[in-house]
Structure 1
Amino acid sequence: MIARLQHTKAPRYTRLTSHPLSRLLLCLCLAFGANTAVHAASFDCAKATSDIEHAICNNPDLSSLDDRLSESYQLAMANLPGDQADALRTEQRSWLKQRDACNGQESCLSDLFSQRAALLQDTAKQAATALDAIIASIPANPATAEQQLQQYRGPLASAWLIYLHQFAPASKVTDAEVEKRHLTVVTAMNDDKFPQSLLRDIENDPKTSHDVAVLTLLRMTIERAGYEDADGRPYVHCFIFKQQGAAAYDAFGALYGSSRDSQAPICPPQGDLFEQPAWQQLTKLIEPMVGKASENSGTIRYASYADWAMFRLRATVSPEDFLKPGQRTPATDDPEQLIRSWSDESVWPKTQREQLLAAIEPARLATMGWLQTEKHFSASDAAKISDAIVKTWLSDRMDFIGEMSGPED
């Protein structure tokens, strides 16, 4: 079972060690019996031996179809209930016999692959939609969701059963089931040892809470479940941020310190606060400096981007957090003073800084009004929260660009 731990991450503003982002390729082992791709997702073309393998590797269209077929098959298998997954596996074996009968003829393979890829893509989409509907029902009826998820064997359903065990005891997921499901989730990461190793470190860190460990396991599984694919599969886990609060914000934000953080499954902000004209103007005026800093920050910048996305979510879903003393202590106590005293005019001219400073109060007032209208805070609390939100937003960006130059001593 996942150890009961207490979570700690690297400090919010500390530069993390950068790790290369490797493409997470899924293999159709049933079809081709290999798992390293060069030109096709299902096998290594450098090791192609059969007429079928050579035909696929020599034809870009076939290679693309093979890639699509492989990914759709794996996604369908992961998201189908056990009995339906077994049926699909049997069906796939039958299809392989048809494929072999083509004897490597490209025209035969092309028609066969096109039909199969389209069918598997549709099957995968329907399977994902059905599973997502069960997940979305968790807040309203966790016990029923648990019963339905038990019919699935894939990593996503398994991670959600572990979630229910931790956060919805009434669902009656057993400790033994958690042990089994945890193995399923971790085994699914075998094609990429880095997140597997990172998860193990988090779960064994005595400073990590068990809530955060469970949510990190869920987060890593969601990252690999296909929500960011071109089909536009929408996130259905967004309810956890309101329900689990700080633990969810901690587990789903910047984690890797590299471009992997661009895949963090962070839900969009609730409402239109950051679409207000005042916020659009503030963002526009600081963006040139953020862009300059990004050019020199390497892949670590994706960790900052993830933090900023999480900040927007938290500010709109849980703005009451900004009333808590010490809940979010900016790295910069007075970002406005830092902007005023910036030393290098060639990097950030005074006229541009003055325009930015003039845009701060409108953003603060817009936030205060939004909090009163949309979240029904009192004028006093809305003023405190809006001040904290704007100051933290600015502090985050001033910390990011601070290495370029800085305020005068």
Structure 2
Amino acid sequence: MTTQLQRTDTPNPLSRLLLCLSLTLGISTPIQAASFDCEKATSSVEQAICHSTELSRLDTILHDNYQSALANLPAAQADALRSSQREWLKQRNVCGSQEACLNQLINQRASQLHEAAKHATSAMDAIIVSIPTNPAKAAQLLRSYRGPLASAWLIYLHQFEPGSNVTDAEVEQRHQNIIVSMKDDSFPQSLLQDIEKDPKVSQATAVLTLLRMVIERAGYENEYGRPYVHCFIFKRQGAAAYEAFGPLYGSTRDSQAPICSPQGDLFELPAWKKLSKLMNPMLEQASENTGTIRFASYAAWSIFRLRATVSPEDFLTPSQRVQEAGDPEQQIRSWGDNKTWPKEQREQLLAAIEPARLATMGWLQTERSFSASDAAKAANMIVTEWLSDRMGFILEMSGSPE
């Protein structure tokens, strides 16, 4: 599976469907963005919701909260919620077209479902957090759930935690459940099929990619502050996890990749903040020529920051990709067009590189207990790869002036 998509006239199979998507705006102004198709609204209640911006907004919130609660409740509790929702709909329908009545009932129900979803997601996430320490118990608890998130984690447990005792039959059923849950978006289904048929993609990467796509749809890092709880997989699964959670789509979807924040404050150190600030003007200039493909690079850079802080030992070995790309410092020095990138700015950037290396060496020794020699090797590679990635982006998008 390719982790760095390139701009091309023939889209990669992993991004071909998204590149064809367009947003179609409705021209019938009374129809609002309700949770159902307003063009098919027949009852007085549905028509009232569709003709009111506020009711439509509330109805959408209610629907989202309901779906979140359903997806994160054990099967028995989810069935009970469905029953209570049907009873509530009967009460709502008594309002007919009375907007004030509908506003009160929908608002109240949306708040109730928000609390239900909050408690449900908290309980689900507590199970997920327990996976590294007690995978068998986590599997036992996840079996009581029917939603795609529980299914994806059971498949993960089958792949990486044999002691969890998840069976092949369970995996087959759960995989099918996930595919069905994606019926509202054909793109992930197509992408997963491409991955599963590709002999170059490992089973570990395929399983982690499936997990990644479910997490993307599960409502993490949203306005309610649900934090990521899958971050342990990067240390445990290494390269396969970094590959699966990195750039995948070659579009704005890569901006929603569930990439955890760096572990530690390495890139918040003054030397790194200064280096980033000095590089940013040229990156912004290059980004003007890229279109949505730039989000793949941004995702790759986020993965890099995570990997540098979670798995810095990976940088003790020189990267073949960086070696093939050439010396980024020399590329900066030899930039020939003083108008696009003034020499004074480049000299300031070059002067900021060594302080970033030294700061990284110190951080690795203090925060990751590296020896002095290993810290020097890894720091040099981290800084070089950071520069190389950005120079590759600049050269590809801006061209290399003589």
Tell me the TM-score normalised to structure 2 length.
Answer: 0.93
Counterpart in 1 of 2:48?
55
Counterpart in 2 of 1:289?
282
Distance 1:82 1:192, change over 3 A: same
Counterpart in 1 of 2:399?
405
Counterpart in 2 of 1:31?
none
Give the stretch that moved more between structures: 38-47 or 224-233.
Answer: 38-47
2:162 aligned with 1:162, yes or no?
A: no
- Residues 185-208 of structure 1 show CA distances to partners (whole Å, capped at 9, x for unaligned) of 111111010111001100111111
CA contact (8 A) 1:102 1:109 kept: yes
Structure 2 Cα separation of the partners of residues 278 and 67 of structure 1: 46
Q: Secondary structure at the match of 1:348?
A: coil
CA contact (8 A) 1:13 1:399 kept: no
2:21 aligned with 1:14, yes or no?
A: no
Which of 325, 337, 361 is the equivalent residue of 2:354? 361
CA contact (8 A) 1:80 1:127 kept: yes
State the 1:286 CA deviation: 0.5
Structure 2 Cα separation of the partners of residues 108 and 331 of structure 1: 67
Structure 1 Cα separation of the partners of residues 125 and 321 of structure 2: 33
CA contact (8 A) 1:343 1:405 kept: no
1:174-213 maps to which residues of 2 (within 5 A)? 174-213=167-206
2:308 aligned with 1:315, yes or no?
A: yes
Counterpart in 2 of 1:230?
223
The runs of 5 or more residues in structure 2 that have no matched partner are: 24-30
- Residues 373-399 of structure 1 show CA distances to partners (whole Å, capped at 9, x for unaligned) of 110111111111001000100011111
Which of 260, 276, 282 is the equivalent residue of 2:269? 276
CA contact (8 A) 1:252 1:265 kept: yes
Q: Secondary structure at the match of 2:325?
A: coil
Counterpart in 1 of 2:232?
239
Which of 306, 323, 327 is the equivalent residue of 2:299? 306
CA contact (8 A) 1:137 1:145 kept: yes
Tell me the TM-score normalised to structure 1 length.
Answer: 0.92
CA contact (8 A) 1:142 1:171 kept: yes
- Paired amino acid for 1:307: A
CA contact (8 A) 1:21 1:260 kept: no
The runs of 5 or more residues in structure 1 that have no matched partner are: 1-7, 25-37
Counterpart in 1 of 2:26?
none
CA contact (8 A) 2:215 2:258 kept: yes
Q: Secondary structure at the match of 2:322?
A: coil
Q: Secondary structure at the match of 1:329?
A: helix
State the 1:21 CA deviation: 9.2
Which of 345, 350, 357 is the equivalent residue of 1:352? 345
Counterpart in 1 of 2:125?
132
Structure 2 Cα separation of the partners of residues 124 and 327 of structure 1: 46
Distance 1:96 1:331, change over 3 A: farther
Q: What CA RMSD, in Å, does the superposition of the two structures yield over aligned residues?
A: 1.7
1:362-381 maps to which residues of 2 (within 5 A)? 362-381=355-374
State the 1:332 CA deviation: 2.5
Structure 2 Cα separation of the partners of residues 341 and 85 of structure 1: 63
State the 1:314 CA deviation: 0.2
CA contact (8 A) 1:13 1:331 kept: no
- Paired amino acid for 1:373: T
2:62 aligned with 1:69, yes or no?
A: yes
1:245-256 maps to which residues of 2 (within 5 A)? 245-256=238-249
Q: Secondary structure at the match of 1:237?
A: coil
State the 1:22 CA deviation: 6.8
- Residues 281-320 of structure 1 show CA distances to partners (whole Å, capped at 9, x for unaligned) of 0000010111111111000010000000000000000000
- Paired amino acid for 2:326: D
Distance 1:311 1:21, change over 3 A: farther
